[in-house]
Each structure stands twice: as structure tokens, then as C-alpha cells.
Copies of this chain bind each other. A is one copy, B any other.
């Protein structure tokens, strides 16, 4: 067994799509975050600040909606970064992160397999923290080991979340793209979708975009859901994106901000497509408030998913 999270990742990548829920996939995931966490235990940490509040710039006519991404200083949350040589990792939420416990992880996933998450004795908040810590361990290790690599952290996050969701639903995601049509010459796979057996022969379909952050690209998620709605009919697929966070770190100033577009999200939810939930591991304050607006966008921490998964339906 290798002690290097990069080698574990390669192993994970080689076997993942054979069976997303298999014990082998789970073991490869465990190796990735265990070795990443062992690596991070040997590096420094640095505190991150946040800038003073800036007055948001008024948008001019002719500018795209997404140009007006708002940079929010972060209040009420503390962040640090892992630090090694000249490099620092992405920002880590202090109150959510602790080196992930393999024992807790195994307790959680075992109860997911049994379809009885309540018996793990963990709250939604505790599950969120555990999964946040697992994801962050690997992402931060890659930040320090492979400068500028966005691909591995994003792919690992997709593997991790889809493994957990597939375990909870008791089925693997669909292999076929639900937007394929007879004229298209080649397949164009896309976000994960799940076709989950329900009670009374009913099937529930889920659309599961997975992103480490969306920033000014969140319109993609709504637009993909709109395409599913247009191709299949409305409310056939329930969109439940899972996102790690929306922080952005200024490496030189050692400051962290959140990039959010709450007004744009309301327009998307009203005029583009309906998202059933938006799950975050680290919820940005600007999006938490969207649950109370009109139209509401229900933003929750990801740990809640495991308890409400049976009630989520198109």
C-alpha cells in the first residue's frame, strides 16, 4: 500500500466507474484521504484574514449578469490554510475541519449501505463536518503537492460525493446521458443522474451537479437542469447540486472572501429552472438567506441530505 495520496488517487481513478458503490472504490477513497491527512499533519498552518467590506460596483448596461459577481468579506467564520514552502492551500473553515476520523467514516458509510443512517448516531452537522474534512484533506494536499492543479481536487470531490449519494440511494448513477438523442453522432456524458426505485413501482430521477465551487458559473447548473426539463418535461428530474464552498483566497494578502451572486440566483430560479435543493459543505452566508426569499431556493448543509433523501422527489 502506497503512502502517497497521488498514487492512491490514480488507483481510485482506475477503478471508480467499474462500480461506484463497491468496497474497492470505498477503500481507494479511504486511502486518498488517509494519506492526504497524514501528509497535512506534517505541514504548517497559517491564519487567513478577510478584507474590509467594499461597496459593490453598480452594473452597467451591456454587462453580462455574471460580470457582477459580488466579493463578500466573510463574517462569523474563521479560515486557515495549510502551508509548505512557498505554497499555501485553499482556505479551510476552522469550525468544520478536523483531521478526518476513519472510524467515524466507516460508521457512516456502513449505515448508508444498510439504509439506516440514523443508527450512525451522528447529526446532520456532524456528517457535514466529516465529509468536509475528508474532501478538504485531499484537496489541500493536492494544492501543496501539485501547484495550480484544479482537475484532481474537482474529480476527487465528484468521486467522494457520488459514492456517498449512490450508497444512500442504493443505486449507481446512470451510465447513459439523459440528453442523448438519435441524431447526435456521439455520446456526450454530463453531470451525474440517478434513477432511484421508489415505492409502488415509481421511479425518482435526480440530477446531481458536483462542484468544488460555482462562483460566476452557477448558471451552468440551472441551464443544465433547464435542458433536462425541456427534453423530459418539467419536474421529472429533481436538481440537487452539491458544492464544497465559494471561498477565494488571495495568496499574497492571505485573505479569504466568498464570491456569490444571490440576486442572479433568484432570477435563475424564477426564469431558468427550479433547483430542489442546493447542498453545501460550507454554506456561504449570502446563499443561506435564499431559503427565505421569493422564489425560495432551499440551501442546506449536505449532511441534511442523508436524512431527507427519501422525501426528495420530483
Contacts and interface: CB of A to CB of B under 8 A. Distances in A.
A62 interface: yes
B63 A264 contact: no
A199 interface: no
A179 B220 contact: no
A123 interface: no
A175 B223 contact: no
Given A223-B272, A230-B272, A158 B191 contact: no
Interface in A224-274: 224, 226-227, 230-231, 263-264, 266-268, 270-272
Interface string A56-90: 00011111111010000000000000000000000
17 contacts: A60-B189, A62-B173, A62-B189, A62-B210, A64-B191, A65-B190, A65-B220, A179-B267, A183-B294, A184-B267, A219-B223, A223-B223, A226-B226, A227-B267, A227-B271, A227-B272, A230-B271
Interface of A: 17, 59-66, 68, 158-159, 162, 173, 175, 179, 181, 183-184, 186, 188-192, 209-211, 217, 219-220, 222-224, 226-227, 230-231, 263-264, 266-268, 270-272, 294
